[in-house]
Structure 1
């Protein structure tokens, strides 16, 4: 980290709240509705939740799950448990009860934090009614209402000295969390990461993107995702940044809150920024405080970077690349890079991290040659929980993590991510990479979002079908002509489907499996 905070870097997450309170005693740590906490108050809330966890029988190494939207209660409950040596297991709020139960069962979670009422859903009741095997789970606590109050009240039975002893016993190499992959390529796997890995990685990330004390960070990314929890909550605590949690993405509310709270930092997939830029009442809101914007997880057009800088007024825009198995980050494109570089690369490897591009036969490729991206560094996962076979397949000789992504390094060492290996399709013997085609389509003025998948074709084997979100009606012949001017003929989509929105997971990644099933069902 930068010199101003490097001496304050804690060795475990158990120390994080105390260090933040000491370093930033008068600074606002959190604003959630009418509730506003300073860093000392946030520390006290986390420590109360930590003593409550002890009172409820949470032991070092116990898995504690949380299936709930972003809120101050999420932060207190999660970090309270981690502070006394528990291993956090965030659960995707989009999961159905059977999916959530699968994570609870496989992780061995003993305690679950959830909600009784969020967007009309009683998560706890739905889980009970599902009849699913919940494995080792023995208690469920609702994060709002009497259940949460009763949970915290039990803290009175535990002296502060006992909490401090438990926190002091947490070691840097202890497991801090098990985050489950999105499952877009099959059954989700539990990625194991330690305290030291997380703290080192996000102190480095914070320095590279330019996060600084006094920033006000609107936390739109869901906390169950690596980017919401680690590049959000933990980065804020590491840097003295005010957290402004949002439970759902609502452009109307986001605009109003950005103006009212003088938000300086906003990070999310491109759809978040498209929603703000094209909002009919954007000009009525003062967004002049915004200085730092981060995006990625999908194709990023140069025009979007330029609009974020010009129209939204954020001078610093960065993209980044990572995956859960790398702790969430591998590379960061500098926020002051030119728009083309920010849009078309994800920057160089983090300090201390190595990236190589490998051919199917195992050869390491030269600059400019596309192949599988592999990563090595201290932040690569400890492995998949209870799955040594999958771990051995993912982390190969020498500690290289196989990402399953296709990309290339340029002469500067900047990485361009072309696609997922599984998304590539073959047209008449030629490899077609959807991300390349999507980037071309996104440069058309009528196209807001794009996804291309391969569909079966009797003559060519496969052909491209493009799913588009557009500003209005657009002629298919015009799109075909646009693509033909910029792409080899075999890459040009053979069909265009206009949709209201593309299917994405909570991290903004396209769920292309849904689109592939759709084109197969239509006999494309």
Structure 2
């Protein structure tokens, strides 16, 4: 595998260069490769083509195990430590996983290894969805698809950048991507087992090397309010919800030397579009990448349809399910003007108010531009006459001038899209990727937590 060949080369040519920096643990390329070789030699001889579930609590131990499994031609299954024993056991049973590797070492399960060669060549690993709506689904990622993503990233990133930092858990798609991306190019990956933005920035200052930060929106908020300026941060990539214009300005104030790119993509489709330094329209998610083809199905009169994506960066399908179509459904409603992509919201989130389609994400984008609103989410409430109503939950001042907000929204959305009620909340539930969890917010609202 080309990734392993590169690591072996870096270990020989730049042995003292730091490969992984995780709080108190640093691994040079030479040390990393030595650990990988040692661990791989201790693995069973029948490891080829076998799924190995990785559950380490320490990222440094995880990456050694991940690479050691690849050396023996096995398939790392990146589950992480956050799942309960019941969830792990259910996944092991569902997919008949023969090996589990965690802090206590490698152990065999009751399932016999299968020696059938995989139908997907160059399989890199199996990741898992968040599991918020049931048992996590395993999605397969091959190396060529990530190499295609690396090439797209390379067009945006200055080649002289020496370090890449992602502070989320290693089982999160963005963090794992950045880690492998750094190793692919022989750079230094900086991460954390316990998220602490200030410490992460202090590591960059200590290294005194140019750095690219890969963040989710909640980390952006932390970085802004920390106010810790860094001359070494030259590029910030943001994956998740869009930044408001005001939030973008605040981030630029803290990191004045940095370019800021906002990605739109999914774990299955990888990168789809990018807004470079907010040069694309504010209400868009940027311009489509040149190697991405999109189509909108079941379009309405406004040109809004369900978004499907095709590119060399997409995943290889879900574990245990039939082969996927070349077109990947993102689960979003969208419209396209030239090469600019405008998201209207998730398919399951659409409201129908008085027979009209209402897309909560559009309303939320506008609400977040109001200076006093820190964050907001739209939830639904049944209504006898109109079918549904939009309710705005927001973090902000207790004395928000709701009528002023409504008047301001009238020039931006239709009257039936304006929330019928605004409810101030102390906090909102977030997903691991830094997005507000609409499902959890809806549950909390229905339960009366926000009254």
1:105 is aligned to: 93
Decide which of 256, 260, 284 is 2:206's aligned counterpart.
260
Q: Which of residues 423, 437, 447 in structure 2 aligns to 1:511?
A: 437
CA deviation after TM superposition for structure 1 residue 278, in Å: 1.5
The 1:429–1:233 alpha-carbon spacing in structure 2 relative to 1, beyond 3 Å, is same
In the superposition, the TM-score normalised over structure 2's length comes to 0.87
SS in 1 for 2:87: helix
Where do residues 189-268 of structure 1 align in structure 2 (5 Å cutoff)?
189-198=137-146, 200-210=147-157, 212-230=159-177, 232-262=178-208, 264-268=211-215
Give distance in 1, aligned partners of 2:268 and 2:50: 21
Q: 1:462 to 1:39 in 2, by over 3 A?
A: same
Match of 1:74 in 2: 62
Could you say if the C-alpha distance between residues 245 and 180 of structure 1 is closer, same or farther in structure 2, counting changes exceeding 3 Å? same
The aligned counterpart of 1:303 is 246
Residues 182 and 375 from structure 1, CA distance in 2 versus in 1: closer, same or farther, beyond 3 angstroms? same
Q: Is the 8 A contact 2:140 2:318 kept in 1?
A: yes
String of CA shifts for 1:327-364, please: whole Å, max 9, x gaps.
x323333xxx3425275433344343311222259xxx
CA contact (8 A) 2:308 2:327 kept: yes
CA–CA separation in structure 2 for the residues paired with 1:106 and 1:211: 44
Per-residue deviation at 1:20?
3.6
CA distance, structure 2, for counterparts of residue 477 and residue 57 of structure 1: 70
Deviations 1:154-194 (A, max 9, x none): xxxxxxxxxxxxxxx99992322121222345543221222
Map 1:68-467 → 2, pairs under 5 A:
68-69=56-57, 71-115=59-103, 136=111, 173-184=121-132, 187-198=135-146, 200-210=147-157, 212-230=159-177, 232-262=178-208, 264-279=211-226, 282=227, 285-326=228-269, 328-333=270-275, 337-339=276-278, 341=280, 344-359=283-298, 369-388=303-322, 395=325, 399-411=326-338, 413-467=339-393
Query: How far apart are the structure 1 equivalents of 2:36 and 2:89?
Result: 27
Counterpart of 1:380 in 2: which secondary structure?
A: coil
User: C-alpha separation between the residues in 2 aligned to 1:422 and 1:135?
Assistant: 39
Tell me the distance in 1 between the aligned counterparts of 2:52 and 2:330.
28
Residue 106 of structure 1 aligns to a residue in which SS?
helix
Alpha carbons of 1:414 and 1:51: their partners in 2 closer, same or farther (altered >3 Å)? farther
Specify the SS of the correspondent of 1:293: strand
- Give 2:39's aligned residue: 49
Q: CA deviation at 1:25?
A: 4.3
Q: How many equivalent pairs are there?
A: 444
Residue by residue, what CA displacement relative to the aligned partner does 1:475-499 show, whole Å, maximum 9, x if unpaired?
4444434434432221111222333
Question: What is the alpha-carbon distance in structure 2 between the residues aligned to residue 207 and residue 470 of structure 1?
Answer: 38
SS of equivalent to 1:276: helix
Find the residue that maps to 1:259 and give its secondary structure: helix
Structure 1 residue 237, shift from structure 2 partner: 1.0
Indicate the SS of the match to 1:15. helix
Q: CA deviation at 1:437?
A: 0.7
- 2:28 counterpart of 1:28: no
CA–CA distance in structure 2, aligned partners of residues 470 and 92 of structure 1: 35
Question: Contact 2:145–2:313 (CA<8 Å) still a contact in 1?
Answer: yes
Change (3 A) 1:501 1:21: farther
Structure 1 residue 234: Cα displacement:
0.8
Counterpart contact for 1:68–1:93, Cα < 8 Å: yes
- Shift of the 457–218 alpha-carbon distance from structure 1 to 2, 3 Å rule, reads same
Structure 2, unpaired ranges of 5+: none
Distance 1:498 1:313 in 2: 33
SS at match of 1:206: helix
Shift in CA distance, 253/496, structure 1 to aligned 2, threshold 3 Å: farther
**CA positional deviation for 1:229:** 0.7
* Aligned position for 2:28: 38
For structure 1, which runs of at least 5 residues remain unmatched after alignment? 1-10, 117-123, 129-133, 139-168
Instruction: Write 1 or 2 for the structure with the bigger share of helix.
Output: 1
Q: What displacement does 1:103 show?
A: 2.7
CA distance in 2, matches of 1:342, 1:81: 44
Secondary structure in 1 matching 2:111: coil
TM-score, length-scaled by structure 1: 0.76
Query: Residues 246 and 372 (structure 1 numbering): CA distance in 2 closer, same or farther, change over 3 Å?
Result: same
- Cα distance, 1:258 vs structure 2: 4.2
Task: Provide the rounded CA distance (Å) in 1 between the counterparts of 2:247 and 2:32.
Answer: 36
Cα distance in structure 2, aligned partners of 1:513 and 1:308: 28
